């Protein structure tokens, strides 16, 4: 009996998210993350802070490649400034992969900085970069920690190219 229970528990553990009751469909995953990416898109009068807060749960954090995590409130405070620095900023969702309640988004950010940007003199040039983000979704919101990486080095090369 104990051996049967142990084998059943091991099978459930090894099966992972596929058996989880909170497994997301691709459409549910896209709907959950869309407000966050919409917040990144520059548009006059857009309330980017509210979009960030509506997409994320209390306690959510955004973590970068160097493992520095920012709390939800700080992200909601900073995101509106992106459209000031890059007035035509656009962040497109190119692909969404789902495993249980984990969502990987391959995105593309593009825009033209309004002035000097990350140490590069203003040139009027546009950049395009790829991003990869990993989110956990619960009750239709991003929760826990989201991990992200963007190719800002590539963007800076584009902006500084002669």
What pLDDT, on the 0 to 100 scale, is given for residue 21? 52
Q: How far is CA 127 from the centre of its chain?
A: 19
What pLDDT, on the 0 to 100 scale, is given for residue 65? 83
Q: Is the pLDDT of residue 131 over 90?
A: yes
Decide if 84 contacts 117 (C-beta within 8 A): no
Q: What pTM does this model have?
A: 0.82
Mean pLDDT of the chain: 88
pLDDT digits (tens, 9 = 90+) for 19-67: 445 799 999 999 999 999 999 999 988 999 999 999 999 999 999 988 8
* Overall average pLDDT of the 75-103 stretch: 96
Q: What's the token pair of residue 67? A: 């493992």
3-state SS, residue 3: helix
- Please give the span between the terminal C-alpha atoms of the chain, in angstroms, as a whole number: 73
Q: Is the pLDDT of residue 7 over 60?
A: no
Q: Which helix or strand (DSSP H or E) is residue 107 part of? A: strand 102-111
How far apart are alpha carbons 101 and 107 in whole angstroms? Answer: 19
How far apart are alpha carbons 139 and 122 in whole angstroms? Answer: 43
Q: What DSSP character marks residue 65?
A: T
How far apart are alpha carbons 37 and 71 in whole angstroms? Answer: 17
What pLDDT, on the 0 to 100 scale, is given for residue 22? 72
């Amino acid at each position: 009996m104990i051996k049967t229970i142990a084998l059943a528990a091991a099978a459930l553990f090894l099966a992972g998210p596929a058996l989880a009751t909170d497994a997301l469909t691709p459409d549910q995953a896209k709907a959950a993350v869309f407000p966050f990416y919409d917040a990144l898109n520059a548009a006059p009068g857009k309330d980017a802070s509210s979009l960030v807060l509506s997409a994320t749960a209390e306690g959510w954090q955004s973590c970068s490649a160097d493992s520095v995590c920012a709390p939800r409130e700080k992200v909601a405070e900073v995101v509106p400034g992106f459209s000031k620095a890059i007035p035509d900023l656009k962040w497109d969702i190119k692909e969404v992969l789902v495993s249980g309640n984990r969502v990987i988004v391959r995105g593309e950010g593009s825009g033209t900085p309004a002035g000097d940007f990350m140490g590069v003199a203003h040139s009027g040039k546009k950049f395009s970069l790829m991003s990869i983000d990993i989110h956990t979704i619960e009750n239709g919101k991003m929760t826990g920690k989201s991990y992200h990486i963007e190719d800002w080095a590539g963007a800076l090369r584009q902006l500084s190219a002669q």
